[in-house]
Structure 1
Amino acid sequence: MNFKSKLPNVGTTIFSVMSGLATKHHAINLSQGFPDFDSDQKLIDFVSRAMNSGYNHYAPMLGNLELREAIAKKFELLYNTSYHPENEITVTAGATQAIFTIISTFIKPNDEVIIFRPAYDSYQPNIELNGGKAVSVQLQASNNFKVDWNDVKGKITSRTKMIIINTPHNPTGSVFSKEDMLQLENLTRNTSIIVLSDEVYEHMIYDGETHQSACLFPELKLRTFVVASFCKTFHNTGWRIGYCCAPKELMQEFVKVHQFNVFCIHHPTQKGIADYMQEPRHYLDLSDFYQKKRNLFLNLIKDSRFKFTPSKGTYFQVLDYSNITNENDVGFAKRLTIESGIASIPLSVFNTNYLDNKVLRFCFAKTEDTLKRATDILNSI
C-alpha cells in the first residue's frame, strides 16, 4: 500500500532543523522569525474581554465584521485605496493559510507560477501540491537582491497563471520599489495572470522608504491578492491570524475553497484585534520600533568580520560571512549553532539549485539583552 502524499519529499524545514539545534545546544535562536518579547498587554486584555463578552462561537466566514471594517480603514489611511469589508476582505488562519488557499483556488495541473528566489518556503510545495510548476527567478546577492525584470519577462509563457511577490522580502530584507511595481503592472497588463502579493512585513520598512503595496497601482490591484499578517505586526506569531484582500470577483473564488478549509477563524482574537486597531499608532509606529533594533544589531557588529547591507524591511538581517570561511552556508550555520551558541538560517535552501552566496539570515526581533548577547558571539567569530 502507498500512503505517500502528493508532495515531493521536501523533508524537515530548515526552520525546524535550526530551532531544534538551538534548543539542543542551548544557543541563542536568531533563526526562526519570532520575537522573544510579549504582545502589548492592552491587546491581550482586549482578547480576554472578548472571550468574557461572549465572542466564543463561530465568527462569520469572512471574518468578524468589525475587524474587516478596521482593515478597510487601514487601507484607506495608508494607501488611499479601498476594499469593501463585506466582500473583498477575508480573515485567515495566518498569512500561510491565505497563501495556500489562493494557490489552491486558482492553480491547476500544468499551470506555471513565477516565484522569486530566495523564496519563502511554503510557495513551491503549495504550487506542486496543486499540480502546478514553480518557475524560479533567482535574485542575486551581488545586486542586493534586486529584480531583473527582463528575466521575469522571459519566464512568462502561455501557461503562466500566477506571479508571487513578497515585499518587504523574507529572507533578504530587500523591498520592491515603485519602479518594480510599475514593471510588474506592465508585464501583467492584458493578461489573465493573477498576482499574489505577500506583504506580511508591510509595517517594517526603514530609512524613510515607503511600502509599495500592490493596491497602490490601480491596474495591478484588479488582479492581485494582498496578503498580510497580524501575527508579525502585533508580536504574537502563535495566534496564527492574518487576512487577504482582493477585488470581489477574485475573492468570490477564494471563499469557495476557504469555506471548506478552515471556514472561520478564532472569534475572540478577531474582536480583540478589531478593538486594538482603533488606534492606528499600534501599527504605524512599528517601523521606528524595529529600525531601532536593526540599528542596534548592526552597530554592535560593525567591527566584526561579517559584511552587510542594512536590511530595508522585515525583521531579518542578512550577513555575508565570506571573510570568515569558505564552507557552505548550511554547514557553517550548523557549526555556529553547535560550537558558538547562535542559530541562524542559511539562504541557499531557498535558492535555485541551492545557490550558496555565503550569507546567513538573522532575526533581530529580540530584546536588547538578547541582541547584545548575540552580537558578542558574532564579534568573537
Structure 2
Amino acid sequence: MINYENILSGKVKTIKPSGIRKFFDIAAEMDDVISLSVGEPDFKTPWEIREAGIRSLEKGKTWYTANAGLTELKEEICSYLKRHFNLTYQPKGETLVTVGGSEGIDICIRALVNPGEEVIVPEPCYVSYAPIAELTGAVVVPIATKAENGFRLTAEELKAAITPKTKLLILPFPNNPTGAVMRREHLEAIADVLRSTDIMVLSDEIYAELTYGDNRHVSFAEIDGMWERTILINGFSKAYAMTGWRLGYACGPEPIIKQMTKIHQFAIMCAPTTSQYAAIVALKNCDEQIANMQNQYDMRRRLLVSEMNKLGLTCFEPEGAFYVFPCIKSTGMTSDEFCEKLLRTKKVAVIPGTAFGDSGEGFVRISYSYSINHLMEAVKRIEAFIGELK
C-alpha cells in the first residue's frame, strides 16, 4: 500500500484549503439555500461578447495563439488602459494575456520571489496571495488593515513591515473582501515609502472598473515613479461577467513580463483562444454595458450597507468591488460560528472573515453580485437569525 502522506509535497500539505469553498460546498448540498458566498456576477456575459466568441468558433479559430496572446487583444488592452487609467504599455513585451487574473498573480510571484524573501500582504485579502507565495518558499508578512482606516494600507504600517528581505508588496485594491479603495493620496503615501527601496509591487486591479462615487480608480502604476516597479494584474471575470471564460492579463516592465511569459509558456501554452477573440470585442465596444452593471451593483451596495447597519451589524461602506464586510462581534460569536449557524438554521451562506486572514475575525463577507430579490430574502433571514440570538 502506498503511503501518500509520505509522497506528497510537505509544503503543499501545509496549505489550508480555501475558506470560501468550504461554505460554498456545504451550501451546495442543502436545499433552499440563499448563497451570497461567491464573488461571481449574476449578469450574463453581454451578448456582443458571447457572439464574438461564437463567431470565432464558427470560423474555426480554435488553434493555439502566440504564448503572450493575440496581438489584436494586446493592442486593445493597452488602448483600454490608456483610455481609462492613463497608463502606457506596449502590446509587445509589456503585455501578457493569462488564464484569468489568478494565473497572472501566480506567475508574477513565481517570477519575482526567491525562497526566504518576504512578501508583504495587506489583510483581509483575496485567498490566493499567501499560499502562492508560500509555494515559492517566500515568507509572507501580513499587515492587518483596520476598519477605522477604511481597511486601507497606511504608509506607516508599510514602513514598519519592511525589512532587508522584503521583495514584493501586494496591493489588492479595490479589495476583496472589504470593498476598500486606495485613492490617489493614499497611493502617493505608499509610493513615498517605496522610492528608496527596490521593492516590487503586484497591483491586483481586477475590480478596477467597479468603484463607486465621484473618484475613478487610480492604478498604482499611474503614480509618479511607480510604473517601473509595478506589475498590473487585471482581467475580464468581474467587470465583464466573464468568470467562466478564464481570461486576464498582466502588464509591466518588459524584463519581468518576459520571465512571466516563460513560466506561462511552459505551464499553460496560451490563454483560451475563443475567450481572447471575445475579449477584443469586450474592450472595444462594451463600456456602456459595464457602466450599467456598475450602476446595478451600486444600488445593491447601498441597500445592503443600510440593511446591515439596521440589524446592528456595523458595516463599513465599501467604495469598490461587490462585497460588504459587516462586523458581527455584537453577536458574541466567532466569524466561523456565525456563518455555520446562519447556514444551518436559516440557509443563508456567507463567508467568515477569517477566510481572508486572521484579521478578518469578527467580520463576514457578503457578496452583492446577486439580484435585489435574492439579497432581500437573505436580509429577511439574517434579521430573523439575529432576532433569535437576543
What is the TM-score with the length of structure 1 in the denominator?
Answer: 0.94
My pick for the range that moved more, 311-320 or 179-188, is 179-188
After TM superposition, give the deviation of residue 69 of structure 1 in Å.
Answer: 1.2
**2:295 maps to 1:288:** yes
Q: Specify the alignment match of 1:368 in structure 2.
A: 372
> Aligned to 1:329, which of 313, 322, 335?
335
> Aligned to 1:9, which of 14, 38, 53?
14
After TM superposition, give the deviation of residue 184 of structure 1 in Å.
Answer: 2.1
Give, in whole Å, the separation in 1 of the partners of 2:271 and 2:342: 39
User: Is the CA contact 2:120–2:143 (under 8 Å) kept in the aligned structure 1?
Assistant: yes
Deviations 1:145-201 (A, max 9, x none): 132322211211111111001110111111112122112222221422110000000
Q: Specify the alignment match of 1:298 in structure 2.
A: 305
After TM superposition, give the deviation of residue 144 of structure 1 in Å.
Answer: 2.7
One-letter amino acid of the structure 1 residue matched with residue 205 of structure 2: E
> Aligned to 1:339, which of 332, 341, 345?
345
Q: Specify the alignment match of 2:206 in structure 1.
A: 200
Q: Specify the alignment match of 2:29 in structure 1.
A: 24
One-letter amino acid of the structure 2 residue matched with residue 16 of structure 1: R
> Aligned to 1:228, which of 231, 234, 238?
234
The change in CA–CA distance for 1:329 and 1:301 in structure 2 (over 3 A counts) is closer
One-letter amino acid of the structure 1 residue matched with residue 312 of structure 2: R
Give, in whole Å, the separation in 2 of the partners of 1:303 and 1:155: 37
Could you list the structure 1 runs, at least 4 aligned residues long, displaced by more than 4 angstroms after superposition: 299-302
**2:140 maps to 1:173:** no
Give, in whole Å, the separation in 2 of the partners of 1:62 and 1:160: 29
After TM superposition, give the deviation of residue 376 of structure 1 in Å.
Answer: 1.7
What is the TM-score with the length of structure 2 in the denominator?
Answer: 0.92
**Paired residue secondary structure (1:135):** strand
**2:101 maps to 1:95:** yes
After TM superposition, give the deviation of residue 58 of structure 1 in Å.
Answer: 0.3
Q: Which runs of 5+ in 2 are unaligned?
A: none
Deviations 1:328-368 (A, max 9, x none): 111111111111111111112323xx345421110000122
Give, in whole Å, the separation in 2 of the partners of 1:100 and 1:81: 23
After TM superposition, give the deviation of residue 100 of structure 1 in Å.
Answer: 0.5
After TM superposition, give the deviation of residue 15 of structure 1 in Å.
Answer: 1.3
**Paired residue secondary structure (2:93):** coil
Deviations 1:243-267 (A, max 9, x none): 1110222211221211111120111
After TM superposition, give the deviation of residue 301 of structure 1 in Å.
Answer: 4.8
**Paired residue secondary structure (1:319):** coil
Give, in whole Å, the separation in 1 of the partners of 2:178 and 2:164: 30
One-letter amino acid of the structure 1 residue matched with residue 328 of structure 2: Y
Give, in whole Å, the separation in 2 of the partners of 1:296 and 1:99: 32
User: Is the CA contact 1:221–1:246 (under 8 Å) kept in the aligned structure 2?
Assistant: yes
The change in CA–CA distance for 1:143 and 1:76 in structure 2 (over 3 A counts) is closer
User: Is the CA contact 1:50–1:269 (under 8 Å) kept in the aligned structure 2?
Assistant: no
After TM superposition, give the deviation of residue 63 of structure 1 in Å.
Answer: 0.8
RMSD (Å), alpha carbons: 1.7
Deviations 1:243-297 (A, max 9, x none): 1110222211221211111120111111111023212324344432321221233
One-letter amino acid of the structure 2 residue matched with residue 137 of structure 1: I
The change in CA–CA distance for 1:24 and 1:207 in structure 2 (over 3 A counts) is same
**Paired residue secondary structure (1:308):** coil
One-letter amino acid of the structure 1 residue matched with residue 327 of structure 2: D
**2:121 maps to 1:121:** no
Higher helix share: 2
**Paired residue secondary structure (1:48):** helix
After TM superposition, give the deviation of residue 230 of structure 1 in Å.
Answer: 0.3
User: Is the CA contact 1:79–1:215 (under 8 Å) kept in the aligned structure 2?
Assistant: no
Q: Specify the alignment match of 1:315 in structure 2.
A: 322
Give, in whole Å, the separation in 1 of the partners of 2:360 and 2:269: 41
After TM superposition, give the deviation of residue 8 of structure 1 in Å.
Answer: 4.6
Give, in whole Å, the separation in 1 of the partners of 2:63 and 2:24: 35
After TM superposition, give the deviation of residue 326 of structure 1 in Å.
Answer: 0.4
Give, in whole Å, the separation in 2 of the partners of 1:69 and 1:61: 15
One-letter amino acid of the structure 1 residue matched with residue 38 of structure 2: Q
Q: Which runs of 5+ in 1 are unaligned?
A: none
The change in CA–CA distance for 1:126 and 1:219 in structure 2 (over 3 A counts) is same
User: Is the CA contact 2:308–2:315 (under 8 Å) kept in the aligned structure 1?
Assistant: no
User: Is the CA contact 1:25–1:337 (under 8 Å) kept in the aligned structure 2?
Assistant: no
My pick for the range that moved more, 290-299 or 334-343, is 290-299
Give, in whole Å, the separation in 1 of the partners of 2:152 and 2:174: 12
One-letter amino acid of the structure 1 residue matched with residue 152 of structure 2: K
User: Is the CA contact 1:103–1:127 (under 8 Å) kept in the aligned structure 2?
Assistant: yes
After TM superposition, give the deviation of residue 321 of structure 1 in Å.
Answer: 2.2
Give, in whole Å, the separation in 2 of the partners of 1:309 and 1:138: 16
Give, in whole Å, the separation in 1 of the partners of 2:359 and 2:282: 43
**Paired residue secondary structure (2:207):** coil
Deviations 1:100-141 (A, max 9, x none): 001111111111111101121111111111111011111123
The change in CA–CA distance for 1:17 and 1:241 in structure 2 (over 3 A counts) is same
**Paired residue secondary structure (1:164):** strand
**2:80 maps to 1:83:** no
